[in-house]
Amino acid sequence: MEVEYFRRQHERCVLKFRGIDSINDVQKYVGADVRILKSELRPPDEGSFYTFQLKGCSVFSDGENLGVVTDILETGATEILKVDLDGSETLIPFAQAYLKKVDLEQRRIDVDLPEGLRELNK
């Protein structure tokens, strides 16, 4: 199927598929998962990336290894990186204010965490 139109609305994705033009025709697809092969994704713009590419990246703050991204939680506002290190979990807002650098080739994310954030996760 080919996506003709896409937008986010109230924390949901709204799609229009080419060739499906009536409410009756689309009812059977409501709530279905849409999957795209990685090989069919268009390359992200320079300096951009897909959030799934962050899984498996090591996260550092001031040179300290905080762990590895195991999941990206979507909250409707800012995505949250779930970072695990030896069974200890840290949740980090993936916000520009905390982000210093993302290096997908090195599988590394450098962050500048606000004071007290790590203590909130304990």
Give pLDDT, residue 10: 76
- Collapsed DSSP state (helix, strand, coil) of residue 23: helix
Task: Specify the residue for token string 């909130």.
Answer: 120
Give pLDDT, residue 119: 67
Strand ranges for the chain from DSSP E: 3-9, 12-17, 58-61, 64-73, 80-85, 88-93, 99-103, 108-111
| 43 close to 92: Cβ distance less than 8 angstroms | no
Are residues 62 and 100 both part of a single domain?
yes
CA distance 110 to 101: 5
Give pLDDT, residue 122: 63
Question: Of 44, 55, 47, which is closest to residue 102 (Cα–Cα)?
Answer: 47
Domain that holds residue 13: 3-35
Bridge partners of 15, per DSSP, are 6
Residue by residue, pLDDT tens for the chain (122 residues) are 888 988 888 767 788 889 999 989 888 888 888 888 888 888 888 878 888 899 999 999 988 999 999 999 887 778 899 999 988 888 998 888 889 999 999 999 999 987 777 666 66
Are residues 63 and 22 both part of a single domain?
no
Are residues 65 and 103 both part of a single domain?
yes
Cα–Cα distances in Å, from 26 out to 1, 7, 15, 55?
Answer: 12, 17, 10, 33
Are residues 55 and 115 both part of a single domain?
yes
Give pLDDT, residue 74: 82
Are residues 115 and 55 both part of a single domain?
yes
Quick check: pTM over 0.85?
A: no
Are residues 19 and 60 both part of a single domain?
no
Judge whether 41 lies within some domain.
no
